[in-house]
Structure 1
């Protein structure tokens, strides 16, 4: 897949333009978005993501479009898991609903910038060392096992990590406990201080950084094309703000989501290990020769990912409905 510098430039400018539009049209004036507003714009961004897959198919073929869609669906599912932590952070800092959009949008932009660095590093490592797939695969399998073990408590673990970051910020920065509108910095008694809104932003940014450690290896298990990895991440994150307000009340009902994500991460981890064996160059594995193993196609990957998400979502809603009826 050949992607020229001009295509990269136009893509980055278009994505930045969408974030700028989002800020000036929805976030600049503080307000609590309605369900209708969140639903419309969430649909718009999902539509853009799906349309971009059509562009990939037209420009580079169905194979790469399939890889993009598989990556997008996986990243979107993982981003929903992020929302659990975001809800806790917002509650911990008692962020007023009308200011939550600003925190989320800035946090998402920072997350995409950080993921851009991870994507570049991952692409360079893969191009230079094929054995990196062993590391990615093993890490995803470990993460899946950890997610299963901590299922139902993973939010508490993330919250403890975030609180350490906030405590460190408070130790070195002058802070105030009061909100000053939607400002991140304010002047109190003649000195500039950090508001709780900025502390909430730091917590969300750190949470995004931790989530990127899982999501980037996962998507590299579905495509080795940095352009598809970046755009799938960008489109998955782009509608996350609207999704936060759209399904915030439904998050507690997705009781089996963590199990589904663990299965997906383990599946991609196995896929990466098989690919690493197929491309093997390590001298202590099969004498440095390629190992003949079955490789999992993009079509199978996409089917498994969507199937697991559908089953876990339906099972979650059915379970919570039964509990409610009791």
Structure 2
């Protein structure tokens, strides 16, 4: 599918326009998005992506259309998995809820810029070196195996970029709204908000190393790779606020993504064998292997995701994990993050609702929760502080 330069520029301007609209009409004024706001805008961005795919199908043909949808669905699923890491970063840096939008939008913009660079680099490598498909395939197989490993602890995301920033600039320990710099003792210092953005940027680079090989395994058309990646990132901010309470419920998402990435990895290696020119494989001649069609790829991706999500939502373990995580998150937010009295009262109500859901769990799941002494101590602290605030100074 040949794409004229005019279409490229119109697409880029359209995506940039959506990002600017998002900033000036939603992010510029710090606030906590309501569930309705997040749902409406998430649906709008998904609708735009689907309409674009229909346009590709109508004007470009069924094969490019299927390639776009396979790429979009895969990248969207990977972006949801990335939200888990965003949640850890926000919690580790104790970002106030109302100020999280700006950090998220920056992360999305940086991710789009970084991935665009990787896309053009990947396309250039593929055009010159057929063996790159072997490399991409192995990367995806290794990533799939890594997703199946037990998760480590949720350490503070003090990555290389954050450590470098701390050395080069003075940093304050407290936020000043969503400002990146503030004045402390007559000196201009950076706020933790800037460190959050740097942490997000660092993790986005790592995410790109997985997502770009994955989508090149579904289509080698640079325009489709770029648009599927861009539209999967647009609306990610709204999706964060929409499903942040359900993220912990998706306990089998990593397994589903592992299956998808392994499947695409195998597809890439089969394609590499079909196009082989590596001297030590079949004497540098193409290998007669069966390649996986785009239609089959799209079907496998959709079915695996549907089964993964359905199994996660139906799982008692997922329900229990979601309830525990919600209680812990709200208690930490009340004690360590929020300072505004009105917002703290709202968070405490959310904590009480999460505790009520915890009490509704089956006896077996509640017994496991009761063994978590750290969670119990955290909740007691939140209730004691709330009671003290209600009684007042006297």
**Residue 165 of structure 1, aligned match among 161, 164, 183:** 161
Structure 2 residue 275 is the aligned partner of structure 1 residue 279: yes
**Residue 204 of structure 2, aligned match among 196, 205, 208:** 208
**By how many angstroms is 1:178 displaced?**
1.3
**Could you list the per-position Cα deviations for residues 143-179 of structure 1 after superposition, in whole angstroms to 9, with x for gaps in the alignment?**
11111124x33x73xx555444323321221100111
Write out aligned runs for 1:1-326 (5 A): 1-150=1-150, 152-153=151-152, 156=154, 159=155, 162-320=158-316, 323=320, 324-326=361-363
Length-normalised TM-score, structure 1 = 0.96
Give the length in aligned residue pairs.
322
Kept in 2: contact 1:54–1:65 (CA 8 A):
yes
Instruction: Tell me the SS of whatever aligns to 1:187.
Output: strand
**Could you list the per-position Cα deviations for residues 169-227 of structure 1 after superposition, in whole angstroms to 9, with x for gaps in the alignment?**
21221100111111111122222111011101111111111111000000000000111
Q: Which runs of 5+ in 1 are unaligned?
A: none
**Could you list the per-position Cα deviations for residues 4-48 of structure 1 after superposition, in whole angstroms to 9, with x for gaps in the alignment?**
211111110110000001111111111000000000000000000
Q: Which runs of 5+ in 2 are unaligned?
A: 321-360, 364-394
Structure with higher Rg: it is 2
Provide the C-alpha distance between the structure 2 equivalents of 1:288 and 1:242, rounded to a whole number of angstroms: 49
Backbone CA RMSD of aligned residues: 1.4
Kept in 1: contact 2:92–2:156 (CA 8 A):
no
Provide the C-alpha distance between the structure 1 equivalents of 2:228 and 2:168, rounded to a whole number of angstroms: 37
**Are the structure 2 counterparts of residues 235 and 322 from structure 1 closer, same or farther at C-alpha, using a change threshold of 3 Å?**
closer
Provide the C-alpha distance between the structure 2 equivalents of 1:252 and 1:190, rounded to a whole number of angstroms: 43
**By how many angstroms is 1:69 displaced?**
0.3
Q: Per chain length, whose mean CA-contact separation is higher, i.e. which structure has more relative contact order (CA < 8 Å, sep 6+)?
A: 1
Instruction: Tell me the SS of whatever aligns to 2:315.
Output: helix
Of 289-298 and 316-325, the range deviating more from structure 2: 316-325
Provide the C-alpha distance between the structure 2 equivalents of 1:255 and 1:164, rounded to a whole number of angstroms: 29
Kept in 1: contact 2:79–2:236 (CA 8 A):
yes
**Are the structure 2 counterparts of residues 322 and 79 from structure 1 closer, same or farther at C-alpha, using a change threshold of 3 Å?**
closer
Instruction: Tell me the SS of whatever aligns to 2:29.
Output: coil
Provide the C-alpha distance between the structure 1 equivalents of 2:18 and 2:97, rounded to a whole number of angstroms: 23
**Could you list the per-position Cα deviations for residues 249-269 of structure 1 after superposition, in whole angstroms to 9, with x for gaps in the alignment?**
001111111111111110000
Instruction: Tell me the SS of whatever aligns to 1:282.
Output: coil
Instruction: Tell me the SS of whatever aligns to 2:182.
Output: strand
Provide the C-alpha distance between the structure 1 equivalents of 2:156 and 2:286, rounded to a whole number of angstroms: 44
Instruction: Tell me the SS of whatever aligns to 2:183.
Output: strand
Kept in 2: contact 1:71–1:219 (CA 8 A):
yes
**Could you list the per-position Cα deviations for residues 99-134 of structure 1 after superposition, in whole angstroms to 9, with x for gaps in the alignment?**
100110011001100000000000000011111000
Instruction: Tell me the SS of whatever aligns to 1:21.
Output: helix
Instruction: Tell me the SS of whatever aligns to 1:26.
Output: helix
